[in-house]
Structure 1
Amino acid sequence: MRRAHTVEQVREAEEALMRTLPEGVLMQRAATGLAHAVLDLLGGGYGRRVVLLVGAGNNGGDALHAGARLARRGVAVEAWLLADQVHDGGLAALRAAGGTVAEPHDVVADAETHGVVDLVVDGIVGIGGTPGLRPAAAAALEHLPGVPVVAVDTPSGIGVDTGELDGNHVTASLTVTFGTHKVGHLVDPAAAACGAIHLVDIGLDLPDPVVESLQPPDVRRLLPRPQGTDHKYTRGVVGVRAGSATYPGAATLCVAGAMAGPAGMVRCVGEVADAVRQAHPEVVGEGRVQAWVVGPGGGEGAAAELEAAADDGVPLVVDADALTHVTGPLPVPVVLTPHAGELAAMTGVARADVEARPLAHARAAAERFGAVVLLKGRHTLVAEPGRPVRVTTTGVPWLATAGAGDVLAGLIGSLLAAGLPAYDAASVGSWVHGAAATLASRGGPLTAGLVAETLPETLRHVLSGGMEESRE
């Protein structure tokens, strides 16, 4: 499990640890980890040139101490000081190791005459900084176009606790963070500015996280699997109320997602049920279920289907057309699966605001509707009141394709029917769906049907321990 904490949580943990250590040890741990990550990215030290962008905080100190280590490994290191006062110990260490320094008023002039720079280290502001960059920092970055950036702890200018962006910010190729992930590492749009994340363990003792991200061992632990005495009914039966004359394929794709999951049987009812059964002869009709999926392609009939499903007293997945008919808490456990536009319509806000502040809106919607809210996106969020928000980091851009959400809804319904609570069903389903898309895509286009076809193979990989932890 990847766990992300707030700035306050991290600072309290750092203060507690520093009380047990000699002065400066924590910064040295961070700087050592940072220097190793930079050398690894550079592929060696000698002949390389690195520019440090150094602000007034401890992140600037980390960058300077790391720069001293790089200089001792043969890297030509130059610090551009973006504040009148920077970390004295780090500055002295860099100079003693042979690094050079440009004062604030010389930075832009130096930038105009610099030679080839292999890499920039962003030590402008720390985790306590606010979104946006000061003019001096923005100007320095403008004079280093196209140079890869390694961010210290977080890219300067992002919303560390919110995942939001407001104004100029650093876009990193690699972010080297310390002790734990921060919210902005996992939550978009800020997460997209972080590049790859490298976590350096500095020995922090941390409380429960506010955001977390499942990894393959977590998914393997949570996935329901049949026992020797199980039969199709005890494995769970999922019902699908989806499709219409206008969108018959949505029901077929939803059923495909449900069939690929751990439930033992899929039922399909509605006006296109016969067509679905022609495509999937294993699917049956009316009867008892342990979970319903409602809404994909439902059109005008979605309201009635939602009411019928809710009256059945079993958990629901509410998707697509049925979402517009959810106005408050429902009497059963519910997973709502909107994209940004659908959540905007449900809550009366602008889509652009949902896209700019997805974490805030997912949390607010979970409270408002008393449900698990799965907000789809590049990094899908799963929010439930009183629980850490789970972030899905599997998937590829090719997954943005028609029908993919129908497959996801069916898969989550299958997980619900097999016995997972709504929070786990939504987050496991989202993770597996993204992993299947990655496997199916192989770097190129894919269709929703191909994602559904790849789900069983993906589950086999997870259950056998054949998937490595995500590196994102």
Structure 2
Amino acid sequence: MRSAHTVEQVRAAEAELMVRLPEGALMQRAAAGLAYAVLDLLGSAYGRRALLLVGSGDNGGDALYAGALLARRGVQVQAWLLSDQAHAGGVAALRAAGGRTITGGPDRPDVVVDGIVGIGGRGGLREHAVAALATVPDVPVVAVDTPSGVGVDTGELDGPHVTATVTVTFGTHKVAHLVDPAASACGAVHLVDIGLDLPEAPVESLQPEDVAALLPRPHGEVQKYQRGVVGVRAGSAQYPGAALLSVAGASSGLCGMVRYVGDADVADRVCETHPEVVGTGRVQAWVVGSGGGEHAGDELRAALADEVPVVADADALGHVDGSVPVPAVLTPHAGELARMLGVERTEVEARPLAHARHAAATYRCVVLLKGRHTLVATPEGRVRATTTGTPWLATAGAGDVLGGVIGALLAAGLTPYDAASVGSWLHGAAATLAARRGPLVAGDVARALPAAVRNLPGW
């Protein structure tokens, strides 16, 4: 599991560790990891140029001590001190190693190290920092802990900020590394272990081994009903493709049986395309809403009346009123969630973590907010961010497939939180596999799902 902790949690863990270490040891650990990442990006040391942008916080100290290590390896290091309160020990170490401090007019560097603002900073960058960055455009940036100016605990962007090529973080990931829009400013994130003892993280991201452990795997004398039966109430005469794609996701082998309930003509097309799908009968979970049109409300009410877990998507979301009475997963995109909460879409896109948590608390169920980093939130505030996927996944019908996958996992016995986060992870992994052959459509994602499962550790 990739864990992302808050600034308060990190500060407490650092304070506890520093009591047991010699003074400055923690910063030296961080600086060594940072210097290694910079050298890795540069490819070589001798004759290369690094510019450190240094503020007043500990991140500036990390940058200065890393600069000293780089200078000893032959890198020409300049430190632009953006504050008269830069870390004194770090400044002394840099100068002793042959690095120079400046207050403007840097030489053209091969890399910029962003040590402007620490993780305790708030709001966007100040004007003098923005001006300093403007002197070195189109140069790779290595950010210390998080890119300066991003919302570390929120994943929000509240003003001018650094856009990093690489971010080197210490002890644990921060929320901004996993949650957009800030995550998009972090580049590749490298974690340096500095020995922190941390509590449970409020934001997590599943890794392949986590998905492999959570995914139900048939064994022994199990039969199809024991593996779970999912029912799909999706599609309409106007949108028959929604039914086909929802069923495609549901019938990818993640549960024992798929039932389709809907328009007779659509049902005929479903059975022609997916002959393993059957009609009405008992189910352990429902998938409702995709392409349902004017009938989506009735379909949702019928599914809720069965008192089994429900995945509500697309047209069904407009009929969710208050607390959902059964275990459920709501799967809106930003526009749909904005309508549900009575806010503008731009507000959801700017603050997805806050709005996903608010929706989960409001409807008392799991909410999956689709996006580049899809967020899965519980009513209690726990969140998993999905980091699999590809931009090619922005295609019509991809959400229909996702709803079917989650429904199958619910029927197989996963909790709504696990079903949504595992389903989202597999959906993104399948899309990445499908995109290896070029541009994709939603059906390609469904067809790649078995391969995504097969690639899991131990499968």
Normalised by the shorter chain, which TM-score bucket?
A: over 0.9
Residue 157 of structure 1 corresponds to which residue in structure 2?
A: 149
**Does the 8 Å CA contact 1:384/1:423 hold for their aligned counterparts?**
yes
The 3-state SS of whatever aligns with 1:26 is: helix
Residue 127 of structure 2 corresponds to which residue in structure 1?
A: 135
Amino acid in the other structure paired with 1:262: L
1:277-292 superposed matches below 5 A: 277-292=271-286
Amino acid in the other structure paired with 2:21: L
Are residue 220 (structure 1) and residue 215 (structure 2) matched? no
Q: In structure 2, how many angstroms separate the alpha carbons of the residues matched to 1:160 and 1:220? A: 30
Amino acid in the other structure paired with 2:171: G
Are residue 449 (structure 1) and residue 443 (structure 2) matched? yes
Q: In structure 2, how many angstroms separate the alpha carbons of the residues matched to 1:461 and 1:236? A: 23
- Could you report, residue by residue, the CA deviation over 1:71-125 in whole angstroms, capped at 9, with x for unpaired residues? 000000000010111000000000000001103xxx1xx14xx3x3110000001
Q: In structure 1, how many angstroms separate the alpha carbons of the residues matched to 2:166 and 2:458? A: 31
Structure 1 portions without partners, runs of 5+: 466-472
Q: In structure 1, how many angstroms separate the alpha carbons of the residues matched to 2:152 and 2:424? A: 24
Q: In structure 2, how many angstroms separate the alpha carbons of the residues matched to 1:371 and 1:331? A: 9
The 3-state SS of whatever aligns with 2:446 is: helix
Q: CA deviation at 1:426?
A: 0.1
Q: In structure 1, how many angstroms separate the alpha carbons of the residues matched to 2:187 and 2:123? A: 17
Are residue 256 (structure 1) and residue 252 (structure 2) matched? no
Residue 36 of structure 2 corresponds to which residue in structure 1?
A: 36
**Does the 8 Å CA contact 1:241/1:293 hold for their aligned counterparts?**
yes
Structure 2 portions without partners, runs of 5+: none
Q: In structure 1, how many angstroms separate the alpha carbons of the residues matched to 2:124 and 2:452? A: 40
Q: CA deviation at 1:44?
A: 1.6
1:6-155 superposed matches below 5 A: 6-103=6-103, 107=104, 110-111=105-106, 114=107, 116-155=108-147
The 3-state SS of whatever aligns with 2:230 is: strand
- Could you report, residue by residue, the CA deviation over 1:112-153 in whole angstroms, capped at 9, with x for unpaired residues? xx3x31100000010000120011110010111100000000
The 3-state SS of whatever aligns with 1:314 is: coil
Residue 171 of structure 2 corresponds to which residue in structure 1?
A: 179
Tell me the number of residue pairs that the alignment of Structure 1 and Structure 2 aligns: 457
Amino acid in the other structure paired with 2:19: R
Residue 417 of structure 2 corresponds to which residue in structure 1?
A: 423
Name which of structure 1's ranges 443-452 and 200-209 shifts more when overlaid on structure 2.
443-452
Q: In structure 1, how many angstroms separate the alpha carbons of the residues matched to 2:195 and 2:44? A: 27
Q: CA deviation at 1:464?
A: 3.3
Residue 369 of structure 1 corresponds to which residue in structure 2?
A: 363
Amino acid in the other structure paired with 1:442: R
Are residue 299 (structure 1) and residue 293 (structure 2) matched? yes
Amino acid in the other structure paired with 1:256: A
Q: In structure 2, how many angstroms separate the alpha carbons of the residues matched to 1:388 and 1:343? A: 18
Name which of structure 1's ranges 275-284 and 366-375 shifts more when overlaid on structure 2.
275-284
Amino acid in the other structure paired with 1:355: E
- Calculate the TM-score normalised by the size of structure 1: 0.96
- Calculate the TM-score normalised by the size of structure 2: 0.98
1:206-217 superposed matches below 5 A: 206-217=198-209
The 3-state SS of whatever aligns with 1:462 is: coil
Q: In structure 1, how many angstroms separate the alpha carbons of the residues matched to 2:49 and 2:457? A: 45
Amino acid in the other structure paired with 1:63: A
Q: In structure 2, how many angstroms separate the alpha carbons of the residues matched to 1:124 and 1:3? A: 25
- Could you report, residue by residue, the CA deviation over 1:304-342 in whole angstroms, capped at 9, with x for unpaired residues? 000000000100000000000001112210000000000
Are residue 316 (structure 1) and residue 310 (structure 2) matched? yes
Q: In structure 1, how many angstroms separate the alpha carbons of the residues matched to 2:202 and 2:261? A: 40
Amino acid in the other structure paired with 1:330: V
Question: What percent identity do the matched residue pairs reach?
Answer: 72
Name which of structure 1's ranges 267-276 and 52-61 shifts more when overlaid on structure 2.
267-276
